[in-house]
Structure 1
């Protein structure tokens, strides 16, 4: 016995075949001594000392909150640009301020997960096109700069030009429009890059959803931003938000169903079970309810506000549900091994037996 025995799985006691008597060569059950006989039973998969095959990401709920807030900010930035181009000042103002608030809270959540603010700064020291984290950091910074300038212009107007800007006020009026345009350009990438970030990992559920998860996140961002606009803006100017809400509901449900259908059935299981499954089921219900309210009763202030809250809750539950499903799938070795076996069988069935992945066995 040693100090390492507590980490080893128990081993059954060895027993000599035949009740303790040695068998003679060639005698016994069916072997004639000339043929090869199976000496080891068929192997069954077990993980190393019961540990996961894929290491779960060390992310807390701050990351899930960042996923949601990034969608709110991206969608609101796009709504703000649309309001800027179509002459809807109150929708423009609320969308810009909502985007700035969401991106600010998202940055706080991201830094809280990183542990130290300088870790975010270190990500800005390089630009690597093959790294979703590096590209996403630059997208977040570019969007924040544009929406920050546009939001300061809105606050200055709200306070009756009482901000201590001095000669910078005239400069702010000139750059406000281009800043809003810049925020609108980076809005969609901000809403979708987190889906690429998740699916680029070895996490079984996230990786298997890589083809459709960006569409789910874009639709979810549409729900959140449209819902926020419907809550904060009078109904006279929320026509674009209601349209975006209706399109977002259709896109969200369609993309989610298509994603689940195209995924390996085993890898998709965490999306239906446990707390993740419950959140995603409620997300679908709230999305439908909010969409119906936006289309049929969106011109009523109370109905619009309630529908907007339902849409925001649906978006948050979608992001948190996908996040929780991925964390769970990484902890269970089954979600890693069985989809691999299915992919291997599919390659062999397609006649691919001569590469580094498959063999002709």
Structure 2
């Protein structure tokens, strides 16, 4: 470690390793934050569908079916995105060769695999009759149980890395991801045609989820802000712009839904704003991690705090 003769841009008196980043920048491509969104929304939709199945399966049959369709599509698309990022299917299959409870990546791979199979099974088999329909109902319940872990494990995975901005948000980032995933699922559900009772329930849940998401985002800022340098990516650069855009889009979604949500046009607009906000959040966190890893000082200041 030195403070003299460092590369241009090094700040005198700041601890670094010769002005170079102490860790490597994550090599994940855009498919990963896209998966965070797709998989999160799928997990939340599966859980919403399972809860409705248990509480009111007869009166909410259309809504339950839409939840299962979203879960099946989201997990399928999410799996394809991960395989695309890895380069070939064999690399994804290699992660399933063992089961390591201590590895968020390994556990997450198993959760995604099981949730995908159960979600597809629920969406397809429940449209049948007799034993097939009953198998579909059971698959829907299983997918619902795996929904929260699917929506939140990605945040746990990020927090388990050495990237300062992700690591410092380890207690609040999972809450943010689960809340945002629930809001995203409700936004997708609002695009469908349901009766007034069903839509009211979806809108209320979506409102609660988005309010929790906004509060959780502030909590992430406070937690990572324990070390001022670490929190910078949420305030500067592309990641900061996306972070602010995510919050603004979520607020707009809430406002539009409250003012015009009873009309289809307003409901669709609110859903689109909400979906865009949730997607922007995932890309913001991804870009923040890349910026944090590239900051020579962030790692040292985080470890010394």
User: TM-score, normalising length from structure 1?
Assistant: 0.76
Instruction: Tell me, in whole angstroms, the C-alpha distance in 2 between the residues paired with 1:233 and 1:135.
Output: 36
Q: Deviations over 1:98-122 (max 9, x none)?
A: 1111111111110011111011111
Tell me how far 1:280 sits from its aligned partner.
1.2
**Which residue number corresponds to residue 42 of structure 2?**
73
Instruction: Say what the alpha-carbon RMSD is for the aligned residues.
Output: 1.9
* 2:189 pairs with 1:226: no
Q: Deviations over 1:160-214 (max 9, x none)?
A: xxxxxxxxx5331121211111111100110000000000000010001101000
Residue 97 of structure 2 aligns to a residue whose secondary structure is coil
Aligned length in residues: 291
Over 3 Å counting, the alpha-carbon distance change for 1:43 and 1:303 in structure 2 is closer
Residue 238 of structure 1 aligns to a residue whose secondary structure is helix
1:118 pairs with one of 83, 90, 104:
90
Tell me how far 1:96 sits from its aligned partner.
1.0
* 2:303 pairs with 1:334: no
* 2:143 pairs with 1:183: yes
Residue 232 of structure 1 aligns to a residue whose secondary structure is coil
1:269 pairs with one of 222, 232, 236:
232
Residue 328 of structure 1 aligns to a residue whose secondary structure is helix
Over 3 Å counting, the alpha-carbon distance change for 1:205 and 1:68 in structure 2 is same
Instruction: Tell me, in whole angstroms, the C-alpha distance in 2 between the residues paired with 1:185 and 1:67.
Output: 18
The within-5 A match list for 1:174-213 is 174-213=134-173
Residue 34 of structure 2 aligns to a residue whose secondary structure is helix
**Which residue number corresponds to residue 215 of structure 1?**
175
**Which residue number corresponds to residue 60 of structure 2?**
88
Tell me how far 1:46 sits from its aligned partner.
4.2
Tell me how far 1:146 sits from its aligned partner.
1.6
**Which residue number corresponds to residue 130 of structure 1?**
102
With a CA cutoff of 8 Å and minimum separation of 6, indicate the structure with the bigger relative contact order: 2
Tell me how far 1:65 sits from its aligned partner.
0.7
Over 3 Å counting, the alpha-carbon distance change for 1:174 and 1:45 in structure 2 is closer
Instruction: Tell me, in whole angstroms, the C-alpha distance in 2 between the residues paired with 1:333 and 1:113.
Output: 27
Q: Which runs of 4+ in 1 moved over 4 A?
A: none
Tell me how far 1:134 sits from its aligned partner.
0.9
Structure 1 unaligned residues grouped into runs of 5+: 1-7, 11-41, 158-168, 344-361
Q: Deviations over 1:318-338 (max 9, x none)?
A: 111011101110011111122
- Of the structure 1 ranges 181-190 and 286-295, higher mean CA displacement relative to structure 2 is found in 286-295
Tell me how far 1:9 sits from its aligned partner.
7.6
Instruction: Tell me, in whole angstroms, the C-alpha distance in 2 between the residues paired with 1:324 and 1:217.
Output: 16
The within-5 A match list for 1:349-360 is none
Instruction: Tell me, in whole angstroms, the C-alpha distance in 2 between the residues paired with 1:127 and 1:44.
Output: 42
Tell me how far 1:235 sits from its aligned partner.
5.0
- Of the structure 1 ranges 263-272 and 217-226, higher mean CA displacement relative to structure 2 is found in 263-272
Structure 2 unaligned residues grouped into runs of 5+: none
* Bigger Rg over Cα: 1
Instruction: Tell me, in whole angstroms, the C-alpha distance in 2 between the residues paired with 1:43 and 1:268.
Output: 20
C-alpha contact (below 8 Å) 2:16/2:297 kept by paired residues: no
Instruction: Tell me, in whole angstroms, the C-alpha distance in 2 between the residues paired with 1:240 and 1:132.
Output: 33
